[in-house]
Structure formats: C-alpha cells, structure tokens
Structure 1
C-alpha cells in the first residue's frame, strides 16, 4: 500500500481503481435491495405467501398494509415538487455527464455512473407509490377487499423488487465494464 502524505492522497480522485468506490457502489445497491418503499422485503414475501395460501386476514397481510400506511406518505410528490426535483437533478446529472465524458474527468464519470441508476430508482419508487396509494385508500375505506388489496400490493412490490435487482445488475455491469476500460486506456490515472 502506498504511503499517504495527506488527506488528499487518501481520498484519491481516481475512482475506478480505488476500493472505496466499489465498496460504495456495492454497499449502496445491497442496502437498497433490502426494502421496497421502506418496507422490508421479508414482510412483502410473508404477505405474498399468506395471500397465495388463501389466508388474506393473517397478521402478515395486515403488517404489510400497516407498513405501507406509514411509508407511502414519504413518496408523495406533488407536481411542483416533482418539477423542481426533476429540473435540479437533471441539471446535476447532465453536468456530471458533460464533465465526465466530454472533458474526461474520472471522478465525474464515476459519480454519474453511480447517480444515474439511483435517479431512475427514485422515479420507479415514486411510480410504485402512486400505484399503491389508491389501493391502500380503497382498502382503508372498505371499498376493496383485504384479500384483493394484499394480493395486488404484494404482487406490485415483488415486481418492483425484480426491477430493482435488474437495474442494480445492469448498473454494476456497465460501471464495471466502463471502469475496466478506463483503467486500461488510462493506466497512469489521467
């Protein structure tokens, strides 16, 4: 291991060749995959198993709906907030893309390749929350049956989780391939 003369030497801006970037990348995706809209995946799996066994009014099903009633309000995004968030994040992502891929800054490339999939994941979650909110309201008001609601909610959340896993695999693969290419083309780091 090379000696570090300062904090700047420790926090080297070469991203693809440092272990810290890969720990961050893999750690972020492993933490993200443990929940769906803040609901642990174990609760979703238990509710789905209870629904498929024909037991809709089990504690597992009610626990899923309780978790959703607590976590869904965090994902409400009004038109104004959505437009502001979309504008700011699109500006930041496009700036990172231009700095990284047009000007050849490795740190900007790494930040872009890390941020873009999480930006897509955020919008996937907002979309899922907008889909689940009416179902939960209908179940709370008694307009929909508990069995149907639990089945639809658990199915939607399971499909979302599959999408998150696919997004994480594609993200890691693209970042890994681009990082290997960058290191091969820039062996000295610049």
Structure 2
C-alpha cells in the first residue's frame, strides 16, 4: 500500500457521506450567524436590553470592525474579489464538471460565505456612512443577521439535497 492510498483511506474524500463534514457545516453556520460584523450577537442583545455602558461598548466595537472592513475593502477589495472568484471558479469546475465530491463540498461551504462577506462589507459601509447608533444600529445588525441566517438555511438545504443526491445516485463506491 502506498502513501497516497493510505492518506485517502484515513481521510474520506466522500464528503457528503462523512459525519465530520456535516458537523463542520453546522459549526460553520452557527458561528457565522452568531458573529454579526465581528460582534457576538449576545452582546448586541444585552446592549439592547440594558443600554448604558454595554450600548457604548457595542457601538465602539461595531465602529471598529466596520472601519476595519471598509478599510480592507478599499485597500484590497479588488484583489480579494479576484482571488475569491478564482478559488470558487476552480472549485466549481473541479467539483461539478470533473465530479470531484470534495471540491463540491468545499464549494457548497465557501460560495454562500462569499455572499455573506459581500453583504457584511456592504452593511459595514452603510453603518459608517450613516453613523448609526442606538436603535437604528440594532435594527441594521438584526436585519443583517436575519439575512445571514436565511442564507445559511438555504445553503444547508441545498447542500443536504445535493449530498443526498450524491449519496443515492453515485453510491458508496463512486459509481
């Protein structure tokens, strides 16, 4: 048995039939929906409920992350879009054209995340431009979180449907 065969026996490249893939997908979307513009959602909730110093801290933290995201978009936005497009295109071609399940699985994780990142950059710019605070900031963060959660639900649904199709149509031996 050679090295290549041993590695691929240990690391199952049939992602959709692998429990670890589904655990990682759940952790990924749980984490993405918990952190809104770099701020944990429980902090937003507590600041809205109690106000005072918690609200001031939240506003400061949101502004720090929003300025950071806008700076990154302004300085490296083109390069980031180019690089992400190249990676996603390569994954799509390798996964769906050439039938590599691992690339399909990674694409189905990263493509929705790219959409979430674009939306996050947009929301960060809007927060900075409007100088939002208080209830307006809570509404903006809440709407953004809702959109991210909906993207996550659609992503998990599409991934589950594609994974079931792969497992039923391709079968355990790859064809």
Q: How does 1:27-106 map to 2 (within 5 A)?
A: 27-49=27-49, 58-76=52-70, 77-79=72-74, 81-106=76-101
The answer (yes or no) to whether the contact 1:47–1:150 under 8 Å persists in 2 is no
Q: Which has the larger radius of gyration?
A: 1
Identify the structure with the greater helix proportion. 2
TM-score by length of 1: 0.82
The answer (yes or no) to whether the contact 1:135–1:153 under 8 Å persists in 2 is no
Q: How does 1:18-33 map to 2 (within 5 A)?
A: 18-33=18-33
- Tell me the alpha carbon deviations over residues 16-59 of structure 1, each in whole angstroms, 9 at most, x when there is no partner: 00111111111111111211111111221233345xxxxxx622
- Separation in structure 1 between the aligned mates of residue 8 and residue 57 of structure 2, nearest angstrom: 48
- Separation in structure 2 between the aligned mates of residue 172 and residue 120 of structure 1, nearest angstrom: 14
Instruction: Quote the offset at 1:79 in angstroms.
Output: 4.2
- Tell me the alpha carbon deviations over residues 72-113 of structure 1, each in whole angstroms, 9 at most, x when there is no partner: 233123445111111111111111111111111111111110
Distance 1:80 1:11, change over 3 A: same
TM-score by length of 2: 0.88
- Separation in structure 2 between the aligned mates of residue 73 and residue 9 of structure 1, nearest angstrom: 46
The answer (yes or no) to whether the contact 1:47–1:154 under 8 Å persists in 2 is no
- Separation in structure 1 between the aligned mates of residue 100 and residue 77 of structure 2, nearest angstrom: 30
Identify the residue that residue 9 of structure 2 maps to in structure 1: 9
The answer (yes or no) to whether the contact 2:29–2:152 under 8 Å persists in 1 is yes
The answer (yes or no) to whether the contact 2:73–2:121 under 8 Å persists in 1 is no
- Tell me the alpha carbon deviations over residues 121-172 of structure 1, each in whole angstroms, 9 at most, x when there is no partner: 1111101110111333xxxxxxxxxxx7311111100000001110110000
- Separation in structure 1 between the aligned mates of residue 59 and residue 75 of structure 2, nearest angstrom: 28
Instruction: Quote the offset at 1:189 in angstroms.
Output: 2.6
- Separation in structure 2 between the aligned mates of residue 42 and residue 12 of structure 1, nearest angstrom: 36
**Any gaps of 5 or more consecutive residues in structure 1?**
51-56, 137-147
- Separation in structure 2 between the aligned mates of residue 108 and residue 86 of structure 1, nearest angstrom: 20
